Amino acid sequence: MGIGYGAADEQLEKQIGCVKYTLFCFNIVAWMISTALFALTVWLRAEPGFNDWLRILEAQSFYIGVYVLIAISIIMMAISFLGCLSALMENTLALFVFIGTQILGFIATVAGSAILMQYSTNDSSLQPLLNVSLRRFVSTSEYTYSNYVLTMIQENIGCCGASGPWDYLDLRQPLPSSCRDTVSGNAFFSGCVDELTWFFEGKTSWIVALAMVMAMLSVICGVMSFILVQAVKKEEEQASNYRR
């Protein structure tokens, strides 16, 4: 009987060790991903040219999701450290706290990603803002500042007007040279609203992908922590039975 219990104890101890160190490794990976997410979001927020474009187009609501993900990445870095400690100590209270933070982290990460996509993808809340700003610049393109902004955007992005060259034609204005391809001389038929949205989407795709990986790791770490809690409780029950 004693030998059987000893073998069961040894097997349980091995299982706990396997789960514990696997959870520790997952937390290290989660810390690295949250650090990378922090670096990317801060870089996107601090990029001078990109920031200037959003300010000129009055579309700085794009940064709402970026701010949310910056805050979440900082919190998740700290939570990953907590996860490493709670796993190594096999402390059930710390593990339960860690599970709670993983649930909240998952919800916050998905919400932050959704907000960022809401202001950076096609058919999103960003497009009406861009449409209003660009149409205003097109209607006042005879002024130096408006002409400068349109030239900068149209030449760099390869677009024309807000929705296409007919924005100028409807206002009985000639197509500016920045609306034409420098090689063929043909007018760009894509509007700047769509082109800018695709440009912003390309900027945020890696950030959203990293955030989704971090959310997935939160689920994995939460489940593994719960398994570890159950194993530790079973070990404590067996230890109390031996003492009786």
Rounded-to-integer distance, Cα 97 and Cα 118, Å: 31
Q: Is residue 152 part of a domain?
A: no
Looking at residue 34, its pLDDT comes to 94
Q: Is residue 105 part of a domain?
A: yes
Quick check: is 150 in a domain?
no
HSE toward the beta carbon, residue 179, CA cutoff 13 A: 23
pLDDT of residue 118: 84
Q: Is residue 23 part of a domain?
A: yes
* 119 within a domain of the structure (yes/no): yes
What is each CA distance from 209 to 34, 37, 99, in whole angstroms? 12, 10, 23
* pLDDT of res. 1: 43
pLDDT of residue 4: 47
Q: Is residue 214 part of a domain?
A: yes
Question: pLDDT tens digits, the chain, 244 residues: what are they?
Answer: 444 455 666 777 788 888 888 889 999 999 999 999 999 999 988 887 788 888 888 888 888 889 999 999 999 999 998 888 888 887 888 889 999 999 999 999 999 999 888 887 777 788 888 889 999 998 888 888 988 999 888 888 888 988 888 888 888 888 888 888 878 878 888 888 888 888 888 888 889 999 999 999 999 999 999 988 888 888 777 666 665 5
Q: Is 155 part of a structural domain of the chain?
A: no
Q: Which pLDDT score is estimated for 86? A: 85
Alpha-carbon torsion (84, 87, 89, 93), positive or negative: positive
Total residue length of the chain: 244
- How many independent structural domains does the chain possess? 1
Residue 60 located in a structural domain: yes
The DSSP element (H or E) to which 161 belongs, if any, is none
- Enclosing domain of residue 63: 14-84+95-137+201-237
Residue 205 confidence (pLDDT) = 87
Q: From CA 229, how far away is CA 149, in angstroms rounded?
A: 59
Q: Where are the beta strands (DSSP E) in 121-202?
A: none
